[in-house]
Amino acid sequence: MTAAARAISGTGPSRRPRARPLEWLLVHLAFVAVSAFFLAPFLWLFGAAFDENATAYIHWPSAPTFNNFIRIFTEHDFGVALGNSVFVSVATMLLVVVTVSLAGYSLSRIELRRKDWITYGILLLQTMPLSATMVPIYGLARQLGLRNSYLGLILIHATIELPFLVWLMKGFFDSVPRQLEEASWLDGRTKLRALIEIVLPLARPGLGIAAGLSFLSAWAEVLMVIILVDQQSMKTVPLAFYEAMRNQGGYTEVQYGVIAAMAILYLMPVMAVFIGARRLMVRGLMSSTRGL
Amino acid sequence: MTVAGAGAIGPRSTGLGRTLKRNRLYFAGLTPAALLLAVFFVGPALWALGSSFTNRALVGIDAANPRFVGLDNYTRLFGDPDFGRVIVNSIVFVVGSAIIGQFILGLGLALLIDHAQQRGFRAANFVYAAVLLAWVDPTLIAGFLWVAMFDFYYGSLNVALSVFGLGPVNWFGQAPMLAVIIANVWRGTAFTMLIFLGALRTVPGDVYEAARVDGASAWRRFWDHTLPMLRPIAALTLLSITMSTFGTFIVIQTLTNGGPSFQTEVIALYAYHEAFQAHEVGYGSTIAVAMLVLNLAFAVFYLRWSRARA
Amino acid sequence: MARVEYEDVWKQFASQGAPAVRGLSLDIADGELLVLLGPSGCGKTTALRMLAGLEEPDRGDIRIAGTSVVGREPKDRDVALVFQSYALYPHLSARENIRYPLKLRKMSRAEQDKRVDHVADMLGIARLLPRRPSQLSGGEQQRVALARAIVREPRVFLMDEPLSNLDAKLRVHTRTELKTLQRELGTTMVFVTHDQAEAMSLANRIAILSAGELQQIGTPDEVYDHPANLFVAEFIGSPPMNLLEVTRDGDTLVAADGWRLPAPLTRERPAGELMVGLRPEAIAIKSEGHAAEVVAVEPLGSEVIVDVRIAGKALKVRAAPSVRPQPGSTVHLAVEPGGVRLFDRSTGSALH
């Protein structure tokens, strides 16, 4: 057993867990830099929300308080916005899940020669930039009388994620073999019951993604809300947030603390899903290039 | 069922009526979604198209009785120096944010994290989550956070610069385009990182070991193997993020609202401003149509490419 | 000169409780084809990778041609490795794959091509060269991987179960080709496999490992006829060696149901708990002998395997193809004295 062998064991770059100290240092330095860049804004947000005299300066307040959170309910009607958001988001989620299950299943099982065209069309629709539809949806909604109404909000929020989710559910249904529902038809079930009782449970992950994504999408949606709502009683959380940001008097008077508190509450459902179902969330978001 | 199947692809076409009848339940199932999509996806596109041929306005006479003006809006668009400016801004933004920023940073992060995970550095998972967090949060939040980051006196960016002895920068005044690019890169990088991480993980580890035994140094392994294996997906990803960055609205609106003096006015903002601030809905629709057409061209190209790969 | 030596090599992975390789010492002669044989997890692949330089031993030394290679990068060891998955570069053509190690050594393009063509002819894959790995069958990919190793003209060939992913017929065919190839090239080869039949047919010598420890090293005949312990006895040979618990009674060994077997001649008279090993071909079905019940008969064409039961223990007996007793009937077994192997029941080691 040579001394040389003992001394130099462990050298050389390798894909196995054995790194030189220099490499470890460089990699972790990079980590620090990257983490700092990506987390700094959130660190600031957390500090500012609990600070009565919050500025843009990143620090933990000397006298942390819940005052900001109280103010958003008393001064900014945040309670109204919160209620609206919850209602609209849940309603959207329900509408989406039902619609998308029916459509995805139908698209999966339908026998059309040009079926591919429909899928292609759906994928094309999915790439449409929402910001381009702001102007026409305004006009359309106004003519249809859908502005400042729950119906308008729900219908439009539901439609946003529709193309992607129909395509997603179709994929899940494609993986469920037809024999299963055919067997249940022979047993005497109607097609609808077969769908609900037999096929749907097998496509559960897809439903989970559809529900989660549509809820979060509706929760976070702001472009459409700007267009559709101008009555205070109808505003949602994103709109309240948006307005609070825009109604700044002068540059140095940005009410960071209050808006930060709003941001925290606005962020909470997203964070909950992120912590609880991160992989599923990422998977769902990845395929829909729109992101949140 | 088998009879139906045979009929659908048999040599003798059974006609539209039969097809409808056989699939009637499925057509019914598609109806709610189709209706929603038709009204709220296709509808706006058509509405924008129609409106672009009018002089519809937000208030005033032309709001109540818009007149048909033919292609006037389009000729105006092509001769509009502001629009030219907007196009340039949009291109600069997309190149800076998507191509340079998100793509390169995403690739770098993917390589870094993949390498670190292979080495068993557990901190990699933390960094990964941090990058993800910036991507999953609502866009408005991202805008707000960076309003604070770019704050002149207290914003973290200027604070960080002062640590290195560099003067505070008036971001929104002097470097607005850079500011919105940085904010958008912060927000969007996770997407490319995820794609490249996925691609890197599909490479079996022993390909690199074979290269090691063949005699390749770490740099050679990267250049000869890692990069070429990433190339196909890189091109597709680039197209994808170009398309999505093209429609950026909120981030820029909250940070600079297109200013100062039009320096960061991108196409989505221009459409909005023309319709709702200058009250020219017809003209705004024209711009929206231009956006949709451009996007459609990209999308067709993208879909064809991604299908060819699959 | 490409002699390979392992000297008291130990390796433990942080993620595992027990060492993967314990005190391995091997001496492989120049030009020898040595097979490292053992079940999954026995450490044979780890031992191979340490020779390649993809792992480093915790203790001990590894030498090629007399010089220690521990700590040296794989590329500096002048060894070539064929992976179980072939590990071909997916984005390069077969030709580019084979050329790669030569390209790294900055050989002239002309020289590179000459060598590639030569090796491709040797392995019969010349017409496959322009294709990408994804366009090749498993067997073809395997040959490209082989070509990539051969083209370097290394001192030692390392093979990590290269035939495991091939279908049975191709595997047997390639086995023979490999053996011939190695003999022609004359290069030392270390071959890892879990398939004992493969080891027997390929090896000059077999090194059997279990749980990181070397159990026995010897020629195929040696490990078959004189296994050093129970593990080797059971691992080598198909069907495996029959094992019976016996006690000694003078010059005879007595099994549980009274079967008396002749004890092999040894200097000592080991007593106590003993185990007897009988190869299926060491037992014969005769007209007289110890009675056993036939459980099943497996006709294999060239021979017949008769499954019998003695004292609750199942035994397999090799017989001529015409021997077809009925299941349930009784047959009589006789044993040749030369066919009895004796093992200590507690330590497992052979006793003569």
Q: Which SS3 state, helix, strand or coil, does residue C290 take?
A: strand
Chains A, B: CB pairs < 8 Å = 298
Q: With cut-offs at 50, 70 and 90, classify the pLDDT of residue A288.
A: low
State the amino acid at position A98 in one-letter form: V
Point out the least confidently predicted range of A274-288, B117-131, C51-65, C275-289.
Answer: A274-288
Asked if omega into C239 is within 30° of 0 (cis), the reply is yes
Q: A56 and B153 in contact by Cβ < 8 A?
A: yes
- Report strand pairing: C252-255 vs C242-249: antiparallel
Closest CA to A205 of A287, A115, A272: A287
Q: B28 and A158 in contact by Cβ < 8 A?
A: no
Chain A residue with CA closest to C59: the answer is: A6
A3 contact C CB<8A: no
- Please report, for residues C130, C239, C296, the alpha-carbon distance to residue C328 in angstroms, rounded to integers and kept in the order given: 61, 21, 8
User: How distant is the Cα of A72 from the closest Cα of chain B, in angstroms?
Assistant: 16
Spacing of C-alpha C322 from chain mean position = 32
Testing the interface with A: which of B18, B27, B30, B306 to mutate, by most A Cβ within 10 A?
Answer: B30
Query: Could you say which of C74, C88, C89 has the minimum Cβ distance to residue B213?
Result: C74
User: How distant is the Cα of A183 from the closest Cα of chain B, in angstroms?
Assistant: 12
Point out the least confidently predicted range of B53-57, B272-276, C221-225.
Answer: B53-57
The yes-or-no verdict on residue A3 having pLDDT over 70 is no
pLDDT at C323: 86
* pLDDT tens digits along A111-150: 888 888 888 888 888 888 888 899 899 988 988 999 999 9
Residue where the block lists tokens 């991108």: B266
A132 contact C CB<8A: no
State the amino acid at position A129 in one-letter form: P
What is the spatial distance between Cα C139 and Cα A31, in angstroms, rounded to a whole number? 44
Residue where the block lists tokens 């389009």: B74
Point out the least confidently predicted range of A202-206, C122-126, C231-235.
Answer: A202-206
Q: With cut-offs at 50, 70 and 90, classify the pLDDT of residue C175.
A: very high
What is the spatial distance between Cα C194 and Cα C199, in angstroms, rounded to a whole number? 8
Q: A34 and B144 in contact by Cβ < 8 A?
A: no
Q: C8 and A1 in contact by Cβ < 8 A?
A: yes
Point out the least confidently predicted range of B263-272, C53-62, C123-132, C267-276.
Answer: C267-276
C8 contact A CB<8A: yes
All residues of chain B having their beta carbon less than 8 Å from the beta carbon of residue C192 are none
Average pLDDT estimate for C226-241:
91
The count of C-alpha atoms lying within 13 angstroms of the C-alpha of C175, restricted to the half-sphere facing its C-beta, is 23
Q: C83 and B206 in contact by Cβ < 8 A?
A: yes
Residue C64's H or E segment, with its range, is strand C59-64
pLDDT at C189: 95
Chain B residue with CA closest to A247: the answer is: B254
A20 contact C CB<8A: no
DSSP string, C189-212: EEEEES-HHHHHHH-SEEEEEETT
Average pLDDT, chain B: 86
Q: Which chains touch C (3 or more CB pairs under 8 A)?
A: A, B
Closest CA to A166 of B302, B38, B33: B33
Asked if residue B110 lies in contact with residue B189, where contact means CB atoms within 8 angstroms, the answer is: no
pLDDT at C267: 64
- Report strand pairing: C4-11 vs C21-28: antiparallel
Chains B, C: CB pairs < 8 Å = 56
Q: C88 and B210 in contact by Cβ < 8 A?
A: yes
* pLDDT tens digits along C264-273: 776 666 677 8
- Report strand pairing: C274-278 vs C260-262: unpaired
C99 contact B CB<8A: no
What is the spatial distance between Cα B123 and Cα C65, in angstroms, rounded to a whole number? 43
* pLDDT tens digits along B146-182: 999 998 888 889 988 988 888 788 898 889 999 999 9
Q: With cut-offs at 50, 70 and 90, classify the pLDDT of residue B67.
A: confident
The count of C-alpha atoms lying within 13 angstroms of the C-alpha of C283, restricted to the half-sphere facing its C-beta, is 31
pLDDT at B87: 92
pLDDT at A291: 41
What is the token pair recorded at B147?
Answer: 């309003």
What is the spatial distance between Cα A156 and Cα A168, in angstroms, rounded to a whole number? 19
Asked if residue A173 lies in contact with residue A203, where contact means CB atoms within 8 angstroms, the answer is: yes
**In chain B, where does DSSP find H-type helix?**
2-9, 15-22, 24-37, 43-52, 61-64, 72-79, 81-94, 105-118, 123-136, 139-149, 156-163, 171-174, 176-201, 205-214, 218-221, 227-246, 250-255, 267-276, 281-309
Q: Which chains touch B (3 or more CB pairs under 8 A)?
A: A, C
Count CB neighbours of A54 within 10 A: 25
What is the token pair recorded at B164?
Answer: 């290195």
All residues of chain B having their beta carbon less than 8 Å from the beta carbon of residue A245 are 140, 143-144, 147, 254
All residues of chain B having their beta carbon less than 8 Å from the beta carbon of residue C105 are 215
All residues of chain B having their beta carbon less than 8 Å from the beta carbon of residue A133 are 41, 44-45, 48, 288
User: What does DSSP assign to residue B151?
Assistant: -
Render the burial of A93-128: b for 16+ CB within 10 Å, e for the rest: bebbbebbbbbbbbbbbbebeeeeebeeebbbbbbb
Closest CA to A241 of A111, A123, A82: A82
C85 contact B CB<8A: yes
User: How distant is the Cα of A2 from the closest Cα of chain C, in angstroms?
Assistant: 7
Chain C residue with CA closest to B215: the answer is: C75
* pLDDT tens digits along A30-60: 999 999 999 999 999 998 888 888 888 888 8
Count CB neighbours of A141 within 10 A: 24
Q: C73 and A8 in contact by Cβ < 8 A?
A: no
Asked if residue C291 lies in contact with residue C279, where contact means CB atoms within 8 angstroms, the answer is: no
Q: Which chains touch A (3 or more CB pairs under 8 A)?
A: B, C
Q: B29 and A106 in contact by Cβ < 8 A?
A: yes
Name B210's bridge partners. none
* pLDDT tens digits along B128-137: 999 999 998 8
The yes-or-no verdict on residue B47 having pLDDT over 80 is yes
C76 contact A CB<8A: no
C90 contact B CB<8A: yes
> What contacts B289, CB < 8 A, 6 or more positions away?
B48, B49, B52
Average pLDDT estimate for C71-93:
91
C93 contact B CB<8A: no
Max Cα distance, chain C (Å): 76
What is the spatial distance between Cα C1 and Cα A60, in angstroms, rounded to a whole number? 70
All residues of chain B having their beta carbon less than 8 Å from the beta carbon of residue C54 are 209, 212-213
* pLDDT tens digits along A157-199: 999 989 989 988 998 888 888 888 888 888 887 877 887 888 8
Phi, psi (5° rounding) for residue A237?
-55, -50
pLDDT at A289: 55
The count of C-alpha atoms lying within 13 angstroms of the C-alpha of B167, restricted to the half-sphere facing its C-beta, is 3
Q: A274 and B126 in contact by Cβ < 8 A?
A: no
Q: With cut-offs at 50, 70 and 90, classify the pLDDT of residue A19.
A: low
User: How distant is the Cα of C103 from the closest Cα of chain B, in angstroms?
Assistant: 10
Name C157's bridge partners. C80, C189
What is the spatial distance between Cα B305 and Cα A231, in angstroms, rounded to a whole number? 45
Query: Could you say which of B210, B215, B220 has the minimum Cβ distance to residue C87?
Result: B210
The yes-or-no verdict on residue A250 having pLDDT over 80 is no
C14 contact A CB<8A: yes
Asked if residue A107 lies in contact with residue A162, where contact means CB atoms within 8 angstroms, the answer is: no
- Report strand pairing: C213-218 vs C205-210: antiparallel
Q: B204 and C100 in contact by Cβ < 8 A?
A: no
Query: Could you say which of B207, B224, B228 has the minimum Cβ distance to residue C87?
Result: B207
Closest CA to C173 of C198, C148, C147: C198
pLDDT at A159: 93
* pLDDT tens digits along B246-263: 889 999 998 988 878 889
Q: For CA atoms A226, A230, A232, A233, give the dihedral sign.
A: negative
Query: Could you say which of B9, B140, B247 has the minimum Cβ distance to residue A129?
Result: B247
- Report strand pairing: C67-68 vs C59-64: antiparallel
Q: What angle do CA C11, C14, C15 make, to 5 degrees?
A: 115
ipTM value for the complex: 0.84
Query: Could you say which of A9, A17, A18 has the minimum Cβ distance to residue C70?
Result: A9
> What contacts A162, CB < 8 A, 6 or more positions away?
A96, A99, A100, A103, B33, B36, B37, B41
C67 contact A CB<8A: no
Average pLDDT estimate for B263-276:
91
Q: A12 and C68 in contact by Cβ < 8 A?
A: no
Testing the interface with B: which of C69, C77, C81, C82 to mutate, by most B Cβ within 10 A?
Answer: C81
Query: Could you say which of C56, C59, C73 has the minimum Cβ distance to residue A1?
Result: C59
* pLDDT tens digits along A72-115: 888 878 888 999 999 999 999 999 999 999 999 999 888 888 88
User: pLDDT above 70 covers what percent of chain C?
Assistant: 98
User: pLDDT above 70 covers what percent of chain B?
Assistant: 95
Average pLDDT, chain C: 90
Query: Could you say which of C54, C91, C105 has the minimum Cβ distance to residue B212?
Result: C54
The count of C-alpha atoms lying within 13 angstroms of the C-alpha of B208, restricted to the half-sphere facing its C-beta, is 23
What is the token pair recorded at A64?
Answer: 């942390």
